[in-house]
Structure 1
Amino acid sequence: MKMWYRTAFRISAVTTILGALTLSGTVAQASPGAGSRLSQPETTAVSEQAKPGSEDVAVQVCGYYEDAVTAWYNHCGNTHVIIYVDATWPRNDWTWCIGPGTWDIGGANAVSNAWYSGQTC
């Protein structure tokens, strides 16, 4: 086994273990002179409205994003603008006039990016 591969594997394994410990609510904390010990993390009181997963929390992504299947563009303004859509294949890019809201701009494998062109329509 090559040296860089073993190092990458070890880093990946450590990252996975630390991520699992963090998700389970147990974190490693260093204590001066005593090595390291496992303890429960400190908690902070959070109101029900601010907790993730509650119905009152809304996150709005502006601009380009994609899920596993679809590429989306969310225009957060209140005017119509022209966006430039960068297609995966060369020379197939296009511009599109969109209004406020979220727009399906194609398949996630067909679109690599999209951005506001600086023009209104």
Structure 2
Amino acid sequence: MAMLAAVMLAVAGCACLSLAMDRHRRQACPERPRAGRGLRLGLRALGGILLTVSLLACVQQMNSAVGVTARFGLLTVGACTVATALSYLPCAIPRLAATAVTIAACDAAWSVLRGGSVG
């Protein structure tokens, strides 16, 4: 995966974690302000998985020390993107997460199609 996929996975992970919180969910989805316990746990788990895959992509592309450091930078970019979206376009957070995962998947597929590996 290229760095684009790692950035998009970090954005999607941060978006899922923000939607797992009641306060941010009320901002992002005013028509459905309350999330059930299962949905909150699912969003937390999905956010954690996406952030872990982002870490693995960075470590696989670079060595472990540089990959972890780069991942913290990407995590900052993801958190700032979601925080800005929550301030200005809160209803777009679910679409932002879906778009970010789609772009990451397309980037991984493109990497495989051009003859490289996913990593």
Normalised TM-score (structure 2)? 0.23
> Which has the larger helix fraction?
2
> Which has the larger strand fraction?
1
For CA contacts below 8 A with separation 6 or more, give which structure has more relative contact order. Answer: 2
Normalised TM-score (structure 1)? 0.22
